[in-house]
């Protein structure tokens, strides 16, 4: 049976998704041709014509007038063909001392570097939103939970800062990923290097890379940095999904701890009273999508011999979709958190009408000389009794307390929500003084991160150093 040529070409084509690399591809080509002229490999006149032609092509793509040709499979061949149409014979010298293998690798590294910078900036925005809410609600008390059961009282600021630090670890992971991405592969050729006197250090400076790759075979086949980004993104989405779950729970009528802004809820097609937290729910769902892209790329890489294999074409769509998904989710969450309105009265009520002070009563007995395990048992029985009597612990009389231990005295009523959080006065605890320290540290972290981003490395968005 004969195979349709167009269908076979479509199977191997990547143009429909790799065209988004056009800025990186053109930047890499411009740097490459400048290096060729600088080294005397091609003439300066030809280099100038090529650079001018590439600049014109970039404007055509930006303006939507570029004549994309599906029969040319990918971005790189489209640009080369168009360059030939525009400047003629000199266009054929662009690919001197370069393979599509190191060309696509440098494109992806340039794109990944931009994506990482964007990811970190969006994470910082979400951290700022969490910090702003924490500072506005530094004295609000609510129940902390284990097993989704009310456990101990905490400050709302302390709770929000827990997510701040989750995302801080994400920031640090992406920053470390950036260091391993910031390696120039261009000059590696197809796999063995090139037989021309090229200057790779010049290329690194032109394109804003911190260093050049050490091994040409590894350079053209390495996709570890993409796996690392996907892994970091998967964990970041897990953190976002955890926050999403709390936003869903807390905005429910059962909790009523917060109200999401109208921009982040939707109505029901049949029930007019509904305010569905669809944005948070979608984030939970999109988390699995990002996990899938990580597993897909790991599977692509697991059986590949050195060096380049066409399987590596499958590295792009999952990466693009992951970055798009993560960035959109971070943007939504920054807005959703910053506009959320917390029901402070309901949070305190939930703490007061529960038995979150049980541990503090056990600690109270320890202060009277009772061993903790014995005190634990006493308070467990006391709490069961209070539940049976449908009473809060503070509603019990001293005589009722004495039924369980003679060590209880009038000062047991000094055990309050405020005394409970204040007692957790250890580094990392929920005591007000410790939370104030934590807020100051969080502000310093954000300020330091913003300062570093402002100083940067002197690179433009594509990595090329300003002159």
C-alpha–C-alpha distance, residues 210 and 417, integer Å: 53
Q: Let me know how long the chain is.
A: 467
150 φ, ψ (degrees, to nearest 5) = -60, 130
Residue pointed to by tokens 């350079």 = 219
Q: Nearest to residue 100, comparing CAs of 72, 74, 66?
A: 74
Closest CA relative to residue 110, chosen from 450, 458, 464, 467: 464
Query: How many CB atoms neighbour CB 81 within 10 A?
Result: 15
> For residue 149, what are the CA distances in angstroms to 195, 411, 429?
68, 27, 20
Smallest CA-to-CA distance from 110 within 44, 50, 29 is with 29
Question: Could you give phi then psi for residue 259, rounded to 5 degrees?
Answer: -125, 120
Listed residue (269, 174, 274, 268) closest to 225, CA to CA: 174
Gap between the Cα atoms of 241 and 236, Å rounded: 9
Distance, in Å, from the CA atom of 152 to the CA atom of 107, rounded to the nearest integer, reads 52
The two three-digit tokens of residue 35, written as one number: 């290096």
DSSP string, 80-115: HHHHHHHH-GGGGGTTTT--HHHHHHHHHHHHHHHH
Contact 244, 281 (CB under 8 A): yes
Q: What is the number of other CB atoms lying within 10 angstroms of the CB of residue 364?
A: 23
Active site residue 268: yes
- 358 neighbors 393 (Cβ within 8 angstroms): yes
My answer on whether omega of the bond before 307 falls inside 30° of 0, hence cis, is yes
CA nearest 456: which of 26, 114, 23?
A: 114
User: Cα–Cα distance between 449 and 429 in angstroms, integer?
Assistant: 24
From 7, 147, 269, 451, active-site residue: 147
For 393, the 3-state DSSP assignment is helix
413-426 burial, b for 16+ CB within 10 Å, e for fewer? eebebeebbebbee
Select which of 6, 43, 268, 384 is catalytic.
268
Positions marked catalytic = 147, 268
């Amino acid at each position: 049976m004969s195979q349709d040529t167009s269908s076979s070409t479509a199977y191997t084509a990547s143009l429909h998704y790799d065209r988004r690399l056009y800025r990186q591809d053109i930047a890499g080509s411009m740097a490459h041709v400048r290096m060729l002229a600088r080294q005397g490999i091609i003439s300066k006149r030809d280099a100038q014509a090529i650079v001018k032609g590439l600049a014109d092509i970039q404007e055509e793509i930006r303006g939507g007038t570029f004549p994309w040709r599906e029969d040319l499979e990918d971005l790189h061949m489209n640009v080369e063909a168009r360059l030939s149409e525009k400047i003629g014979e000199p266009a054929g010298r662009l690919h001197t001392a370069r393979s599509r293998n190191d060309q696509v690798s440098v494109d992806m590294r340039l794109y990944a570097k931009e994506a990482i910078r964007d990811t970190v900036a969006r994470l910082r925005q979400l951290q700022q939103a969490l910090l702003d809410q924490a500072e506005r609600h530094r004295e609000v008390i609510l129940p902390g939970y284990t097993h989704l059961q009310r456990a101990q009282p905490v400050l709302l600021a302390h709770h929000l800062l827990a997510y701040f630090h989750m995302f801080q670890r994400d920031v640090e992971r992406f920053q470390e990923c950036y260091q391993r991405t910031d390696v120039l592969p261009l000059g590696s050729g197809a796999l063995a290097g090139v037989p021309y006197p090229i200057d790779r250090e010049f290329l690194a400076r032109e394109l804003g890379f911190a260093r050049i790759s050490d091994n040409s075979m590894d350079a053209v086949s390495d996709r570890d940095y993409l796996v690392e980004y996907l892994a970091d993104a998967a964990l970041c989405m897990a953190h976002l999904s955890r926050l999403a779950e709390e936003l869903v729970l807390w905005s429910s009528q059962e909790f009523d701890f917060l109200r999401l802004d109208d921009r982040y809820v939707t109505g029901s097609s049949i029930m007019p009273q509904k305010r569905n937290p669809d944005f948070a729910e979608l984030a939970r769902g999109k988390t699995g999508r990002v996990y899938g892209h990580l597993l897909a790329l790991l599977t692509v890489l697991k059986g590949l011999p050195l060096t380049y294999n066409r399987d590596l074409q499958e590295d792009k769509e999952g990466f693009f979709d992951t970055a798009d998904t993560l960035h959109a989710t971070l943007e939504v969450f920054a807005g959703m958190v910053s506009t959320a309105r917390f029901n402070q009265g309901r949070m305190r009520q939930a703490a007061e009408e529960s038995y979150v002070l049980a541990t503090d009563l056990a600690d109270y007995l320890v202060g009277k000389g009772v061993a903790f395990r014995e005190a634990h048992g006493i308070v467990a029985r006391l709490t069961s009794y209070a539940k049976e009597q449908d009473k809060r612990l503070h509603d019990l009389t001293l005589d009722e307390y004495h039924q369980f231990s003679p060590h209880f005295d009038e000062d047991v009523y000094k055990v309050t929500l405020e005394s409970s959080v204040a007692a957790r006065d250890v580094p990392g605890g929920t005591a007000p003084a410790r939370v104030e320290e934590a807020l100051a540290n969080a502000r310093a972290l954000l300020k330091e991160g913003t300062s570093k981003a402002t100083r940067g490395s002197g690179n433009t968005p594509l990595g090329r150093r300003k002159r």
